[in-house]
Chains A and B, each alone.
Chain A
């Protein structure tokens, strides 16, 4: 079922939690709402679920207006951040709950409920733990119970609030692959909230980047990562180096240094900021181009297959971070204290008018 969010706003007193949010989600898509805490992403998810009411705007499920429909009747699946499992019920009873509370004439028979729950238990690979209580499960197992419980009512829409937030790194990675596979099998339209950019890039079909109650950018993971349309998105999705300077003739100038500013033709002689990702910072022994900057290596640390190098540029007197593969690092034979040349491979320039940092 498709979801349309139109012009949704919500404020708490003078605080605008959400302003004019519009998102269209086609059937079967897996969308991530990505943003820092306080960006309004959880509020938006709770409004879609009907747990909270928007001040204005409309929520449509498959073209049907849901704005005034109560939570109980919206038939969404919702997975809470801290699972919200019923502590006094076994795993089995937790999953069966949504079926058992149906009005008598819609309620499946005992046998059907049993079958349905067993099916879900095998889907989440918890058959052996059906009689356990939530307090006897690990975090990852609880998360899977929460998911099975939400799926039991066969929702047309699945909403997940920071679904992997409370888990440790290893379990988190397994579960999100598993969620992705599950989604590919069932094609339930799903929205999940996260503040972890890696998680969003890894799992989602589309990412909605939110900040201070507004949408910054909507796009596929490649789009938002490779072509951020605002400094915020650039900054939020991964590490970044900043260069302040002035624009002149399509170049960003700062002292002796001259950097190409692609995509900016107008806006002569104005202050601007250039963004470069660490893995787009090239390190060379010799100066090969005029935009290469001399820099001194301050610190080197190796993390797994990648090597992080901290440098101090000579002209700009500022620190920057570069990321190399171990092979490239070996080829160059870099050492702390050496002078090298750095060159931005891909650079994005923003003019401060559009934003504030």
Chain B
């Protein structure tokens, strides 16, 4: 029986390591997350539907999705650009900048939140030069989400560019293509899968982000309230059912995103496997 589940191996510790892994994941991840669906299932369908389609909730979906999408798009464009500059060009301080790119992963989100709010408020260092409001508007939410998603695309595209065979570009040039043609026909298709994966990761992260956004958003219902904040608000009002219903919607979307990302990575590996 055992041999059918697992291929033979002389290495020890399979039972122990897999057993511990399964137990830990079940207790810490699967059981808790299933609570969302168990609790949601105890609601009637109409209750559930009216909770998750309440105008204030719908407005929060729009903001969360819209801002996350715009932020991830900005990060895709600039992420590819930054990766390109870091891999292809040499300039003083390059290593420092390369290291700094990971700052959003290392900096606590609350710290990033208050720093960005201070900069982009009406009287802030950057805000005072702008004719439009950034902090406490959807634009502010986008700024915060751009910050926290910044490293994803860079870090996905960078290794692809690094491993990219310079000879492939030379082959293109020898065959008569100019630099623009080489870029569009040869380089972009190579880095597109990585850039899209980075985009999805940044988007998924931005959808769930809370810490950096609450400070800069202003949290006005219908206007600058993101979905995670709404869950928080419902919890503070002890509306556990409402919070759980909205969480269920977000969770399903997150699962779909995860499937999409994994599928894309699988497709990437299969089709463009390095030879």
The residues of A with any CB-CB pair to B shorter than 8 Å are 49-51, 71-78, 80-82, 84-89, 97-98, 101-102, 133-135, 142, 149-150, 152-153
- Expressed in whole angstroms, the Cα–Cα distance for A97 and B168 within the complex equals 12
Given known pairs A51-B170, A71-B170, A88-B189, the reply for A133 and B176 (CB within 8 Å) is: no
Instruction: Tell which of B171, B181, B271 touches A84, judged by Cβ atoms closer than 8 Å.
Output: B171
| Pairwise interchain contact A142-B189, C-beta atoms closer than 8 A | no
Q: Chain A: which residue is nearest B177 at the CB level?
A: A101
Closest 10 CB pairs of A and B: A98-B175, A84-B167, A101-B177, A88-B189, A84-B171, A78-B174, A135-B273, A84-B168, A80-B167, A101-B181
- Expressed in whole angstroms, the Cα–Cα distance for A89 and B189 within the complex equals 9
Instruction: Tell which of B173, B174, B176, B186 touches A86, judged by Cβ atoms closer than 8 Å.
Output: B186
Q: In the complex, how many angstroms separate the beta carbon of B271 from the nearest chain A beta carbon?
A: 7
- Expressed in whole angstroms, the Cα–Cα distance for A74 and B176 within the complex equals 8
- Expressed in whole angstroms, the Cα–Cα distance for A72 and B172 within the complex equals 9
Instruction: Tell which of A75, A89, A135 touches B176, judged by Cβ atoms closer than 8 Å.
Output: A75
A-B contact pairs, 22 of them (CB 8 A): A49-B174, A50-B174, A73-B176, A75-B176, A80-B171, A81-B167, A84-B165, A84-B167, A84-B168, A85-B171, A86-B171, A86-B189, A87-B272, A87-B274, A88-B190, A97-B172, A101-B176, A101-B178, A135-B271, A135-B272, A153-B175, A153-B176
| Pairwise interchain contact A97-B185, C-beta atoms closer than 8 A | yes
| Pairwise interchain contact A101-B275, C-beta atoms closer than 8 A | no
| Pairwise interchain contact B174-A76, C-beta atoms closer than 8 A | yes
- Expressed in whole angstroms, the Cα–Cα distance for A242 and B206 within the complex equals 73
Q: Chain A: which residue is nearest B166 at the CB level?
A: A84
Query: Which residues of chain B are within 8 angstroms of A149 by Cβ–Cβ distance?
Result: 171, 175
Query: Which residues of chain B are within 8 angstroms of A81 by Cβ–Cβ distance?
Result: 167
Query: Which residues of chain A are within 8 angstroms of B176 by Cβ–Cβ distance?
Result: 72-73, 75, 98, 101-102, 153
The residues of B with any CB-CB pair to A shorter than 8 Å are 165, 167-168, 170-178, 181, 185-186, 189-190, 271-275
| Pairwise interchain contact A97-B175, C-beta atoms closer than 8 A | yes
Q: In the complex, how many angstroms separate the beta carbon of B261 from the nearest chain A beta carbon?
A: 20
**Main secondary structure on chain B at its contact with chain A?**
helix
Q: Chain A: which residue is nearest B170 at the CB level?
A: A51
Instruction: Tell which of B175, B190, B273, B274 touches A101, judged by Cβ atoms closer than 8 Å.
Output: B175
Q: Chain B: which residue is nearest A79 at the CB level?
A: B171
Q: Chain A: which residue is nearest B182 at the CB level?
A: A101
| Pairwise interchain contact A72-B167, C-beta atoms closer than 8 A | no
Q: In the complex, how many angstroms separate the beta carbon of A157 from the nearest chain B beta carbon?
A: 11
Q: In the complex, how many angstroms separate the beta carbon of A105 from the nearest chain B beta carbon?
A: 14
Query: Which residues of chain B are within 8 angstroms of A87 by Cβ–Cβ distance?
Result: 168, 190, 272, 274-275
| Pairwise interchain contact A134-B275, C-beta atoms closer than 8 A | yes
- Expressed in whole angstroms, the Cα–Cα distance for A148 and B229 within the complex equals 60
Q: Chain A: which residue is nearest B275 at the CB level?
A: A135
| Pairwise interchain contact A71-B173, C-beta atoms closer than 8 A | yes
| Pairwise interchain contact A72-B271, C-beta atoms closer than 8 A | no
Query: Which residues of chain B are within 8 angstroms of A78 by Cβ–Cβ distance?
Result: 170-171, 174
Query: Which residues of chain B are within 8 angstroms of A49 by Cβ–Cβ distance?
Result: 174
| Pairwise interchain contact A82-B185, C-beta atoms closer than 8 A | no
- Expressed in whole angstroms, the Cα–Cα distance for A135 and B176 within the complex equals 24
Query: Which residues of chain A are within 8 angstroms of B272 by Cβ–Cβ distance?
Result: 87-88, 133, 135
Query: Which residues of chain A are within 8 angstroms of B168 by Cβ–Cβ distance?
Result: 84-87
Query: Which residues of chain B are within 8 angstroms of A88 by Cβ–Cβ distance?
Result: 189-190, 271-272
Instruction: Tell which of A72, A85, A133, A142 touches B173, judged by Cβ atoms closer than 8 Å.
Output: A72
- Expressed in whole angstroms, the Cα–Cα distance for A50 and B172 within the complex equals 13
Query: Which residues of chain A are within 8 angstroms of B177 by Cβ–Cβ distance?
Result: 72, 97-98, 101
Q: In the complex, how many angstroms separate the beta carbon of B178 from the nearest chain A beta carbon?
A: 6
| Pairwise interchain contact A142-B175, C-beta atoms closer than 8 A | no
| Pairwise interchain contact A133-B271, C-beta atoms closer than 8 A | yes
